[in-house]
Amino acid sequence: MEHLQTIGADLGGTKLAVGVVDGRPGTLWNEEVPSKGYSQEDVVTLLSQQIGKAREACPEASAVGVGIPATLDHESGRVISTVNLDLEDVPIRDRLTELVGLPVAIENDGNLAMLAEALYGAARGARTALLLTIGTGIGGGVWLNGEIFRGSTGAGAELGHVVVDIDGYPCQKNCPNRGCVETMASGTAIGRHGRDEAQANPGSLLGRMLAEGREIDAKAVNEAARQGDEAAIAAVGKAGHYLGQALVSMANIFQPEMILLGGGAIAFGDLLIAPAQEEIERYALNPMNTTPVVAASLGPAAGMIGAAAYGRMEAEAA
């Protein structure tokens, strides 16, 4: 079983990444396709098609792990609800098992990214750690005493929905709250902060980009910030400030050895990490105010790697 091939699928709000691994570094096959705007049935079909392609490429693959940005009922394998995708009350584990002809294990995508970092990445050897994956939204995972924390039914650790501004923007799509860290510090939020800064500072690089008709999204903000544009740096710093406020509460609750930041927004590096770290140092209780905030090391592939690892673990336990 040392080199058991397993398929990992990481479903996000904008893309689906699928790969095949065998427990060694690297992937035997991988592909990334869009997932944004898909209906519930289309999401299930997309997952089954991409898993099928992976199986065709690597016919020795014997199990599948799937990460989904959703609250889950772990025992039944059902998706309860999602924020950034059209999935609700779906027996997705059973549906996919039937469609792909392999045993399928499902888990929250943030949990699986945390699992990957604990097994192979920046949290290797840690007993307690947190991970926030910052992209379209914000996912989260908690590594507690050497295990993934899921809550009572498997829906726990939705770290992206810690409220940091009770009068803030309505949260994204299916979340009924306001001012969640997801809507104040995600990649989507960085784009919004960037548009605000561009309008307030028309002479800035961001302002000129807006005047030229460029879409001011997280990618554009990163481009301008890397050129030293103060408006762009301010937009990222605002997101880092809100992110840090959420991390203060998380540090106080869990006292982790470290808090990892992953997902696409980690491309901002210290522009995002430094203000978040400053919030912890200033406002968390002692000794939690020394909790380090560090970049996750596995990059965008963490969720897929974790999904494959989880599929392997479930297959070996069966």
pLDDT tens for residues 278-310?
A: 999 999 999 999 999 999 999 888 999 999 999
pTM, to two decimals: 0.90
Q: What is the pLDDT of residue 2?
A: 59
Mean pLDDT of 135-151: 92
Stretch among 46-55, 81-90, 157-166, 167-176 having the lowest mean pLDDT: 81-90
Indicate if 131 and 275 belong to the same structural domain: yes
- Is the per-residue pLDDT at 1 higher than 60? no
Do the domain assignments include residue 117? no
Q: 14 is in which domain, residue-wise? A: 6-109+300-317
Strands 15-21 and 29-34: antiparallel
Task: Give how far the C-alpha of residue 95 lies from the chain's centroid of Cα atoms, to the nearest Å.
Answer: 24
Place of tokens 């990059």: 299
Indicate if 127 and 103 belong to the same structural domain: no
Q: What is the pLDDT of residue 164?
A: 96
Q: What is the pLDDT of residue 81?
A: 85
Do the domain assignments include residue 36? yes
Distance, in Å, from the CA atom of 269 to the CA atom of 49, rounded to the nearest integer, reads 35
Distance, in Å, from the CA atom of 237 to the CA atom of 279, rounded to the nearest integer, reads 11
Tell me if 309 sits within 8 A of 144, measured CB to CB: no
- Please return the burial class of 219, using the count of CB atoms within 10 Å of its CB with bins 0-12, 13-18 and 19+: middle
Q: Which amino acid is at 115?
A: L
Q: What is the CATH number of the domain that holds 97?
A: 3.30.420.40
Do the domain assignments include residue 115? no
Tokens encoding 78: 């059902």
What pLDDT digit, counting tens, does each position of 56-97 carry?
999 999 999 999 988 899 889 999 988 778 888 899 999 999
Nearest Cα residue to 161 out of 234, 63, 56, 84: 84
Whether residue 34 has a cis bond before it, omega within 30° of 0: no
